Amino acid sequence: MKSLLYFILTKSIGLYINILQWFAKKIAAKTAYNFFSHPRVKRLSQTDLPPILQSAEKQIFDFENHKIQTYIWVGTQENVLLIHGWESNAARWENMVQLLQKYQKTIIAIDAPAHGLSSGKSFDIPTYGKFIKFISEKFHPQFIIAHSLGGASAVYSQAIFSSASLQKMVLIAAPSDQKVLFENYVELLSLNNSVLVGIDKHFKKRFGYSLDEFSGQNFAKLITIPTLIIHDHTDASVLYEESQKIFSNLPNAIMHSTNGLDHSMQDEDLNQLIYNFLFK
């Protein structure tokens, strides 16, 4: 029943945008982009945080009309920055936090724009990339572990802003091409191709890149730090080939493939492999 309702909802939204496109192309493109960038999950509440986030020190930073919610677990060793993905929050790192705490690492995790306890109603990779830059300048992490769109944002941030403190990076199930994401979205809603053309123009006007230009495989060429890329062959949310695109253009990267972990990639052995790459 839920899948039927979801199908009806997505196709209804697509029909509305397709009709709107005939009368107001720019408004239709902006409307389509806004639907795409608006997370649909429930936000976190200060009064009902997951226990792992309750155990952290919490700081809120003001940045370019945003509020960035930050969680810190203080240790005596190196700083590790954790970057979650789409429709998630910093609590997704519970198992990784517990592992890093065993080795006395200082851990910093943030909520993405429009996620968790951070402010905003929409998400985009350039803004998340700026969040990562800002927090990196505050805490000087030597290591980043990033999942999904958080990984795409970490690639963008390191390529464009190049954190001087960063020594190694781990990308888990990260998409490469912005255009692929929008093409999948257009297919899901059965949008006309002219709507995709309008989204491309809207994106370029807002961020200075066309959808073709905004690509992890292009940004990867500018990153020289050792990077571990992990992706599961069964991932239905972000295809395995997306990480391969990034890997093919990173000059100092290792690719690790898994089977059966899907997109969430929550696995004790995998977390230990990540730790060993970063610290051994």
pLDDT tens, per residue, the chain with 280 residues: 556 666 667 888 888 899 999 989 999 999 999 999 999 888 999 998 999 999 999 999 999 999 999 999 999 999 999 999 999 999 999 999 999 999 999 999 999 999 999 999 999 999 999 999 999 999 999 999 999 999 999 999 999 999 999 999 999 999 999 999 999 999 989 999 999 999 999 999 999 999 999 999 999 999 999 999 999 999 999 999 999 999 999 999 999 999 999 999 999 999 999 999 999 8
**Residue 35 domain-assigned?**
no
Residue 23 forms part of a structural domain: no
Strand partners of residue 58: 71
Domain total for the chain?
1
Q: Which helix (H) or strand (E) holds 144?
A: strand 143-147
In a domain, 74, yes or no: yes
Taking the C-alpha atoms of residue 132 and residue 161, their distance in angstroms, rounded to an integer, is: 10
Provide the domain limits for residue 261: 49-177+215-279
Q: Alpha carbon of 134 to those of 6, 128, 173, 224: distances in Å? A: 37, 10, 24, 20
What phi, psi does 220 have (nearest 5°)?
A: -60, -30
Question: Could you tell me the CATH number of the domain that includes residue 268?
Answer: 3.40.50.1820
Q: Could you tell me how many residues make up the chain?
A: 280
**What is the distance between the terminal CA atoms of the chain, rounded to a whole angstrom?**
49
CA distance 4 to 15: 16
Question: What's the pTM value of the predicted model, to 2 decimals?
Answer: 0.95
Q: Distances from the Cα of 48 to the Cαs of 53, 94, 102, 107, 237, in angstroms?
A: 10, 16, 26, 22, 28
* Residue 12 located in a structural domain: no
Contact call for residues 108 and 131 (beta carbons, < 8 A): no
Q: Is residue 192 part of a domain?
A: no
Instruction: Quote the CA–CA distance of 229 and 216 in Å, as a whole number.
Output: 12
Judge whether 31 lies within some domain. Answer: no
Query: Does a structural domain hold residue 39?
Result: no
On whether residue 36 sits in a domain, the answer given is: no
Confirm if 157 and 272 have CB atoms less than 8 A apart: no
Q: For the chain, how many helices (H) and strands (E)? A: 11, 8
From the list 199, 143, 190, 198, the residue with the least C-alpha distance to 171 is 143
